[in-house]
């Protein structure tokens, strides 16, 4: 069950489940009276697992869309480059948009994405991230819905990968340095 490449579990499956339920309830409450469609935009691939749990915890209709952006590749450090590999399928003008992200690190990706999507004139745009590393921030990002703040350690599991591995771990843990050094 516990991968030997994991040094320590940061958030157990149960801890994740409880926090996701709280975030979903908070989002449902905040958009209770919204007449316009609420678009949950998952940032693939990292947010895929969080996204599917989160949307099921939001007790109101939402529409799905996904984007693929690249900033990291297989490296454990950000290149600072943001490239759109897959754009939204739907126009978001006049809609409520919630960007759903796995983790915000330097903030480069989210800062860029939010600016870009704001240019399409949505009715509102908010950011929901399961994790954030505030000590690593380079670009300013306001996170409207946050699961947990974490220190500067390389995490995997619950969608987070290292070289495409570990995404399917049901918990979040610190990857042993020996795996990538
Ligand atoms: P940012 O643009 O904020 O620096 O990068 C955000 C992206 O970097 C995240 O969506 C994620 O893909 C990747 N990332 C940042 N920190 C970690 C981490 O601790 N573990 C993993 N696996 N990916 C991370
Ligand atoms: Mg991501
Ligand atoms: Mg990655």
Dist CA 44 CA 21 (whole Å): 21
132 lines ligand 1 (CB under 6 A): no
Dist CA 116 CA 99 (whole Å): 12
Q: Which residues are catalytic?
A: 105
Q: What is the pLDDT of residues 18-59, one digit of tens each?
A: 999 999 999 999 999 999 999 999 999 999 999 999 999 999
Spacing, Cα 122 to ligand 2 middle (Å): 22
What ipTM did this prediction achieve?
0.96
Residue 142 pLDDT class (50, 70, 90 cuts): very high
Mean pLDDT of 69-87: 71
- What is residue 156's predicted lDDT score, i.e. its pLDDT? 98
Is the separation of the CB atoms in 99 and 43 below 8 Å?
yes
For residue 83, give the DSSP letter: E
Biggest distance spanned by C-alpha atoms of the chain:
51
User: Sign (positive/negative) of CA torsion 86, 107, 130, 9?
Assistant: positive
Q: Where on the phi/psi map is residue 144: left (φ > 0), alpha (ψ -120 to 50), or beta?
A: alpha
Nearest CA to ligand 1 atom 20: 155
Spacing, Cα 44 to ligand 2 middle (Å): 6
Phi, psi torsion values for 86, nearest 5 degrees:
-145, 125
- What is residue 71's predicted lDDT score, i.e. its pLDDT? 73
Considering every ligand atom, which ligand is closest to the CA of 44?
2
Residue 2 pLDDT class (50, 70, 90 cuts): confident
Residue 1 has pLDDT above 70, yes or no: no
Nearest C-alpha neighbor of 136 from the set 114, 153, 112, 121:
153
Q: Which atom of ligand 1 approaches the CA of 46 most closely?
A: 12
- What is residue 82's predicted lDDT score, i.e. its pLDDT? 84
Is the separation of the CB atoms in 3 and 61 below 8 Å?
no
Q: How far apart are the first and last CA of the chain?
A: 24
Nearest C-alpha neighbor of 113 from the set 125, 124, 103, 105:
125
Tell me the two tokens of residue 148.
Answer: 């947990």
Is the separation of the CB atoms in 150 and 10 below 8 Å?
yes
Residue 80 has pLDDT above 90, yes or no: no
pTM of the model: 0.94
């Amino acid at each position: 069950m516990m991968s030997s490449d994991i040094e320590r579990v940061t958030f157990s499956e149960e801890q994740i489940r409880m926090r996701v339920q709280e975030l979903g309830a908070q989002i449902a409450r905040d958009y209770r009276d919204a007449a316009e469609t609420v678009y949950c935009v998952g940032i693939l691939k990292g947010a895929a697992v969080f996204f599917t749990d989160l949307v099921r915890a939001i007790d109101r209709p939402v529409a799905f869309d996904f984007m693929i952006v690249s900033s990291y590749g297989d490296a454990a450090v950000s290149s600072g480059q943001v490239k759109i590999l897959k754009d939204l399928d739907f126009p978001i003008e006049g809609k409520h948009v919630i960007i759903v992200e796995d983790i915000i690190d330097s903030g480069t990706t989210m800062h860029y994405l939010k600016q870009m999507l704001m240019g399409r004139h949505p009715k509102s745009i908010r950011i929901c991230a399961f994790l954030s590393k505030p000590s690593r921030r380079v670009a300013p990002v306001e996170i409207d819905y946050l699961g947990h703040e974490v220190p500067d350690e390389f995490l995997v599991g619950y969608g987070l990968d290292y070289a495409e591995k570990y995404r399917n771990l049901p918990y979040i843990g610190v990857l042993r340095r020996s795996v990538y050094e």
